[in-house]
Chain A
Amino acid sequence: MRIFRSLLIPVLALLAALLTGAIVMLIFGDNPLKAYQGLFAGAFGDGRAWATTIRKMTPLILTGLSVAYAFKAGLLNIGASGQFIFGTVCSVAVGISMEGMPMLIHLPLAIGAGIVGGMFWGAIPGLLKVYTGAHEVIVTIMLNYVASLFAGWTVYAGGTQGQTPGPLWDPTAGAISETPDVLASAQIPWMFGPPYRVHWGVVLALLVAVLFWWLIYKSIFGFELRTVGQNIKAARYAGIAVNRTIILAMTIAGGLAGLAGAIETLGLNHKFAPEFSGAVGFDGITVALLGQTHPLGVVLAAFMFGALDGGASRMQFESGVAADIIQVIQALVLAFVAAPMIIRSIFRARWLSEAEGQATLTTGWGGN
């Protein structure tokens, strides 16, 4: 019953978003049925469709977990995007150097570099929050820009007037801004090779989700983290080192987003170019909220978003509806999840408010 209830809002939100998307298509004279057929076929129609869905889902699991992790400590990590990019740059830097290293050492090193880079980028807002009171939302948003511009600089192709190119720029690429390919010893092997192009990173992401669940719900550290998130005063009273917990929460959230960057690069793109942006980091916010910040929910939400992304191009091809509509739908999902009142009035789910009535009792009377 509890699982059913917690699934209800996200499922209704998705439904409402798909309905609204259909209305938008109707207004522009498109056929939503045909579009959604194409979408479904593109996401689950055959082996290649499934492969696309899984490929798109993999980084979303990790960025979703990143946002969810910080959320458990009562922090809003809007910086998964920047942490993703910074992690990517770090893992590429390791991946393109150290020639001749066996994969057994090189690959873990490159993945580790991504994690450490993301942790570093996440630790900054945590430290600033604890020691200066700077709000993590503002700091992470700003650090997104910094990471993005820094990453651009590392692959800067140099200028015609003799400006120095970026340190990771591939000279053989001519004027194109990108890094060389990571060495084969640092590439995550295919689970299903071309044309499917599914790498073992998806298994790693799922394992991390399990580890996340264990850490949050089974370990002392998770108990402390959740207590800080639920009632920071009670956490202090209980002797929990609140400041350390906040810094660690942001650091680990950053590490998860950094790992997403590492896996995406070492498994799929094999290099970094500025167009591999951090959108997947922003989608992590939606995925985390849609998944109710529970690891299983995050995996399911990432799967759903992966399917939407995966089916988009087939939809466009088969029905002529621009793939951009998928982004509209994804944004609507977030809007509906963030505003359960809308969902409630649309679906007239009165008994939902009864379930919530119980929760509001817990706040009690705060008068006087």
Chain B
Amino acid sequence: MLDETSTPLLFYSSPKLEERILNDQPVLQVNSITKRFPGVVANEDVSLALYPGEILALLGENGAGKSTLMNVIYGLYQPSEGEIFVKGQPVSMNSPRDAIALGIGMVHQHFQLVPVMTVAENIMLGSESVKNGLLDTRAVARRITELSERYNLAVDPYAVIEDLPVGVRQRVEIVKALYRNVDILILDEPTAVLTPQEIDGLFEVMNLLKSQGHSIIFITHKLKEVLRVADRIAVLRDGKLVGQTTPHDSTEAELAAMMVGREVILTVDKTAAHPGAAVLEIDGVAARDDLGQPALRGVSLAVHAGEIVGVAGVQGNGQTELVEVLTGLRHADGGHIRINGQELTNASPRQITDAGQMSHVPEDRHAYGMVASYDVAHNMVLNSYYRPPFARAGVINEPAIHQYATQLVAEFDVRTPSVDALAGSLSGGNQQKMVVAREFSRPLKLLVVAQPTRGIDVGSIEFIHNQIVSKRDEGVAVLVVSSELDEIMALSDRIAVMYKGEIIDIVPRSQATREGLGLLMAGVKD
């Protein structure tokens, strides 16, 4: 079991696993892989081995570096440091073509199929079979039929892709990889787009492939699936490998804690909360996600003045949709949202900001929180540009904006050459401080903060946490959504745990433990 203060970095606890590591030669091995992008380290010193005939689950939150690691293995990226061995030989891959030649195939999360072409045409794309100068589609179709019978992957070679349901398209992708004679198969979040029945089918196929000697890397952030299908589990967090285990030796709660824990233990100095009247009242709210699937199934929650309510949960359990519904960015299909007693269900973002005196630090600051091509000054007034003194009678008042932004930059310690610098040129931490400066500097009753410290440096994290607590102490009602359990534990006065679009439980901070929250995040409630 994991305790609250330390997370074991690496553990091999199964005797069988140790035996295997000593005796078998891995088909694929990566040693100390580091991948840097400008300003970001996506993978840091990751070492991992894949053995013949096993399913290795790679577990991690969005942004943990799973896809980057797989793109390195598939030849799409070159590692900044480290080595890759395939069947014992050191290799360097410059493109997926090299990877395929070495027997590595990948099924991407977003399918790489041409919708208007047939299954056979898609599968032979790039390795066309030619007879007398013409495409030999019939030979390809024969091979496809052979493969689909052997691996129980029913596909019609002559069907057109756009007529096929998503589950079948995925089968086509798998056949496409097998057609190229790969024995290492990387499946990037394959279950994200499937129905439960299709997932069962996929797992059967995976086991069949395994029994015929293929090795599979299965990328996911769904704990139940990992425990069901994997032989071994590797967990990535913040680009680093934080542990390896087997389904036999671990529980959902442990895996959840490993996924969302943070090595740096965050502490926030704060006094006891003195909650006042309810500011935000959410009552039975339902909503759907971008694909039209139910994402919120009757969420009810109240946030009072002067308290911080944290929303914990493994990503993808409705937290994003909840914040979007609250802030007017997503339509609620049912339920009520009241802010300061005022009914604001499905009101526009501006109505909610004005009438509710609400501020919102969005989860994705690049997509929502800022305009990268604007300078810092105009980003500081992104949602108050129309108010005096920033505008009078419809005319923008540049000096006032400039002065205000300069003041906020100093107050919130945003490191920028000047307020005329483009927001996109700032570091992640400073961009977030800019967003926080803007959102925290209005008269506030309610603050909705989503993933406030994702992808930013420790110094900025501390600063932003202290700002959030000081807003609470001023009597603002604060809702913090984070996939970092430590962040939730450090900030919250009460913790609501979301699971499958519902709030499974609300616990006072004083009664919350990592284990207890981990169990709730995995959907286990006693």
Query: A residues within 8 Å of B by Cβ?
Result: 218-223, 227, 230-231, 233-234, 236-241, 358, 361-368
Contacts and interface: CB of A to CB of B under 8 A. Distances in A.
Contacts of A234: 367-371, 382
Nearest to B385: A223
Contacts, number: 96
A237 B366 CA distance: 12
Interface string B378-406: 10001101100001001110000000000
A220 B383 CA distance: 11
B348 interface: yes
Interface in B330-384: 348-350, 353, 360, 362, 366-374, 378, 382-383
A231 B39 CA distance: 22
A316 B378 CA distance: 52
Contacts of A363: 372, 424
B373 to A, nearest CB: 5
Given A362-B373, A367-B68, A239 B348 contact: yes
A219 B425 contact: no
A131 to B, nearest CB: 16
Please name the 9 residue pairs, one residue from A and one from B, whose CB atoms are nearest each other, closest first: A362-B424, A239-B350, A365-B37, A238-B383, A237-B368, A239-B349, A362-B372, A231-B371, A238-B382
A365 B38 contact: yes
A343 B111 CA distance: 36
Nearest to A239: B350
Contacts of B62: 368
Contact of B38 (A239, A241, A364): A364
Nearest to A240: B350
A227 B68 CA distance: 31
Contacts of B368: 233-234, 236-237
B67 interface: yes
B349 A237 contact: yes
B396 A365 contact: no
B432 to A, nearest CB: 13
Contacts of A231: 367, 370-373
A236 B327 CA distance: 10
B424 A368 contact: no
Contact of B394 (A219, A236, A237, A366): A219
Query: Most chain-A CB neighbours within 10 Å: which of B42, B360, B371, B395?
Result: B371
A319 to B, nearest CB: 46
Contact of B39 (A239, A240, A365): A365
5 contacts: A230-B371, A237-B383, A363-B424, A367-B68, A367-B71
Contacts of A239: 348-350, 353, 383
A358 B373 CA distance: 11
Contacts of B329: 236-237
A223 B369 CA distance: 16
B396 A368 contact: no
A220 B395 CA distance: 6
Given A237-B329, A239-B348, 19 more contacts: A219-B394, A221-B394, A227-B371, A231-B370, A233-B367, A234-B367, A236-B329, A236-B349, A237-B327, A237-B362, A238-B382, A238-B383, A239-B350, A241-B350, A361-B425, A365-B38, A367-B42, A368-B42, A368-B63
Nearest to B327: A237
A230 B350 CA distance: 19
Nearest to B422: A362
Contacts of B64: 368
A240 B368 CA distance: 12
B97 to A, nearest CB: 21
A361 B329 CA distance: 28
A223 B373 CA distance: 13
A195 B349 CA distance: 59
B372 A365 contact: no
B40 interface: yes
B396 A223 contact: yes
Nearest to B373: A230
B237 interface: no
A361 B373 CA distance: 10
A187 to B, nearest CB: 34
Interface string B66-90: 1110010000000000000000000
A361 B68 CA distance: 19
B65 interface: yes
A238 B354 CA distance: 11
Contacts of A227: 371, 374, 382
Interface string B211-239: 00000000000000000000000000000
A218 B62 CA distance: 40
Contacts of A365: 37-40, 42
Q: Which of A218, A220, A234, A363: most chain B CB closer than 10 A? A: A234
A363 B370 CA distance: 12
A364 B353 CA distance: 29
Given A234-B369, A239-B350, A361 B396 contact: no
B106 to A, nearest CB: 15
Nearest to B349: A239
B425 A358 contact: yes
A364 B424 contact: yes
B386 to A, nearest CB: 5
Contacts of B378: 223
Given A220-B385, A237-B360, A358-B425, A367 B394 contact: no
Contact of A218 (B66, B67, B396): B396
B51 to A, nearest CB: 26
Contacts of B63: 368
Contact of A219 (B348, B367, B395): B395
A358 B386 CA distance: 30
A241 B386 CA distance: 13
Contacts of B37: 365, 367
Given A218-B395, A220-B395, A233-B367, A367 B386 contact: no
Contacts of B394: 219-221
A219 B362 CA distance: 27
B363 to A, nearest CB: 11
A236 B367 CA distance: 11
Contacts of A223: 378, 385, 396
Nearest to B423: A362
A14 to B, nearest CB: 26
